[in-house]
Amino acid sequence: MADTAPAGLVPPGFGTLRQDEIAILLQPPGLVVRAIPLDESLIRLLTPDSYRNLHDLRMSTAGRLAGVAQRLGGRSVEPWLVSFFGVEPDVRFSPMDLIVTSAGRDFRPLEVVPLSAGFGEQRLRQRETQTAVFVFEADIDVDQPLSLTFMNERSDVWEHVLPRIERERALVRARASRTTP
């Protein structure tokens, strides 16, 4: 599965991280929010199946991402996979209230691309999951500490995830170098 990686990116297919290891969780009242940046440099560190699934998801929304970028005058955008899980019955949520803070700047979604039927209702039944791709400005630096805020709940776990990501990048480079002539 070795393929040549663009400059700065590790090749896909050599990662061992699971999605849960790079997911950011928040638990506001009545629900659980799970967010994963779909940045190519991150998802290449995931197990081959997870990489393929998230890469395919990213590619399937490429047209929508390009449309948002065009509306922004050609500025780059980055997708995040975000799911909302209902812990209590009949929980309302407002997806546009999700905030990513990076380098002292707050980022709100520019657009939300629903992946599950009923996402637009912004309501969850108990044990129901609604999922969407959130489109943010590409100025969010996933290689630096960042935080996620939703309904007054904040997670700064990313600073603890970063060392795991850097370690996995080094391991992926080592694995790939052993299989590349």
| pLDDT over 90 percentage in the chain | 89
Of the candidate ranges 48-52, 65-69, 101-105, 151-155, the one whose mean pLDDT is the lowest: 65-69
pLDDT interval class at 5 (50, 70, 90): low
pLDDT of residue 2: 42
Residue 1 has pLDDT above 50, yes or no: no
pLDDT of residue 3: 47
Distances (CA, A) of 68 to 39, 76, 77, 161: 16, 9, 8, 29
Of the candidate ranges 2-16, 79-93, 158-172, the one whose mean pLDDT is the lowest: 2-16
Distances (CA, A) of 123 to 88, 118, 126, 132, 153: 11, 8, 10, 14, 18
- pLDDT 10s digits, 27-64: 999 999 999 999 999 999 999 999 999 999 999 999 98
Terminal C-alpha separation, the chain: 13
Show the tokens assigned to 35: 């967010």
Between 12 and 5, the higher pLDDT residue: 12
Separation between Cα atoms, residue 41 and residue 48, nearest integer Å? 14
The structure's pTM equals: 0.93
Residue 37 is inside which H or E element, if any? strand 31-37
pLDDT of residue 7: 57
Separation between Cα atoms, residue 145 and residue 156, nearest integer Å? 8
Q: What mean pLDDT is predicted for residues 2-10?
A: 63
